[in-house]
Amino acid sequence: MGVAAAQVVDNPCYPTSFKVHHVMCTELSKLVDRIIKIFPKIEAARPRCSSGIKALCSLNSAIDKAKLLLRYCSESSKLYLAITTDAILSRCHKSKNLLEQGLCQIQSMVPVMLAFEITQIVDDFQAAKFIPDEFEKEAGKVARELLQRGATESDSMGYAEIRALKTVASRLHLTSLIAILIEKRSIKKLLEKVGDSDQQKKKILRYLLYLLRKYANQIIEEQTDNTNDLNEGAFASNGPSTDSMQAHSFNVESCMERKRYDAHADKLSIATLPEEFKCPISSRLMYDPVIIASGQTFAVVGGIIRDGRRLSDSLR
């Protein structure tokens, strides 16, 4: 058990950035932190008996399961996480109960001062609450309704359904080409892990992938249109004498935004994005990429590649 304890202490790291259910995951991560900090004392003070070793193994296993749940919420599909909000909530409660149960089993087997410290942690566990984000919960509800309709109307979505999909995408921050590509990649990874026995989950993931492939452009265009409306409103509110100044300011801000995007994109292309997202010429993350007639994809820099089409068009 000394090796197991050392692994808990030496590798306490788990994701602190969560795609969905940030509040619930942060609450669970705080509980895990409390136990990780006290775990070396518990391991060192445990009685040399089979029941003590078993209790410590149970606590260690509960910590590992909690870490897996936190990692799942940092790597999984946003859409699927939103759809399964109730299941994630249940898993958070179950994880908390396992951790609390492990602490209570250990509590009677350690010295008095350590037992008192464990009591304080157990009290914090009992006060912990897991509350889903209302926007994410609503997004999951709307997405589930789309899935139910899609079972019979997958070939033709009505205007109301498309608007609902855009609302879901907006609340889950799936409003850019990169965000949608990353989401599609996450869904594909989930599909690879699903066994043949879970056909229902496969069906759900495949339909989510279908929606993103077919309506990605409309989701992105919706976001672009909203941004343009805000910019037009801002220009309209100024007098004629300030139009040129505002236009100059807008151009400067656009250039600065493009530079910030390029810097951030370079980090993303190295850290998280696959090779196919990089320009074969510059090796940088492609900004507004196009596909030429030969099928190769390049980034547009200072002009337009003729006989090509934008990568976003290929999502249709």
Q: What is the pLDDT of residue 150?
A: 66
Residue whose C-alpha is closest to residue 44's, from 125, 104, 119, 109: 109
Residue whose C-alpha is closest to residue 308's, from 298, 316, 220: 298
In angstroms, rounded to a whole number, what is the distance separating the alpha carbons of residues 99 and 11?
A: 18
pLDDT band at 100 (very low <50, low <70, confident <90, very high): very high
Residue 119 near residue 141, CB atoms below 8 Å: no
pLDDT in tens, 135-150: 999 999 999 988 887 6
In angstroms, rounded to a whole number, what is the distance separating the alpha carbons of residues 67 and 32?
A: 8
Sheet holding 289-291, edge to edge: 297-299, 289-291, 309-310
Helix (H) or strand (E) segment spanning residue 104: helix 85-107
pLDDT band at 224 (very low <50, low <70, confident <90, very high): low
Mean pLDDT of 227-243: 46
Instruction: Give the C-alpha distances (Å, rounded to integers) separating 92 from 38, 130, 131, 132, 270.
Output: 21, 7, 10, 11, 33
Point out the least confidently predicted range of 120-124, 132-136, 143-147, 267-271: 267-271
Residue whose C-alpha is closest to residue 46's, from 98, 87, 107: 107
Mean pLDDT over all residues of the chain?
75
Q: Running DSSP on this structure, what letter comes out for residue 278? A: B
Residue predicted with more confidence, 270 or 221: 221
Determine how many CB atoms are found less than 10 A away from the CB of residue 173. Answer: 12
Determine how many CB atoms are found less than 10 A away from the CB of residue 290. Answer: 21
**Dihedral, CA of residue 150, residue 152, residue 156 and residue 157, to nearest 10:** -40
pLDDT band at 49 (very low <50, low <70, confident <90, very high): confident
> 75: which residues sit within 8 A by CB, 6+ positions away?
15, 19, 186, 189
User: Widest CA span of the chain, in angstroms?
Assistant: 85
Which residue in the block uniquely carries the two structure tokens 């343009």? 228
Residue whose C-alpha is closest to residue 182's, from 108, 273, 99, 109: 273
Q: What is the pLDDT of residue 69?
A: 95
Residue predicted with more confidence, 275 or 66: 66
In angstroms, rounded to a whole number, what is the distance separating the alpha carbons of residues 72 and 74?
A: 5
Residue 99 predicted with pLDDT over 50: yes
In angstroms, rounded to a whole number, what is the distance separating the alpha carbons of residues 267 and 32?
A: 30
In total, the chain counts a number of residues equal to 316
Q: Running DSSP on this structure, what letter comes out for residue 19? A: S
Tokens of 177: 């080409």
Residue predicted with more confidence, 316 or 87: 87
Residue 235 predicted with pLDDT over 60: no
pLDDT in tens, 10-40: 444 555 689 999 999 999 999 999 999 999 8
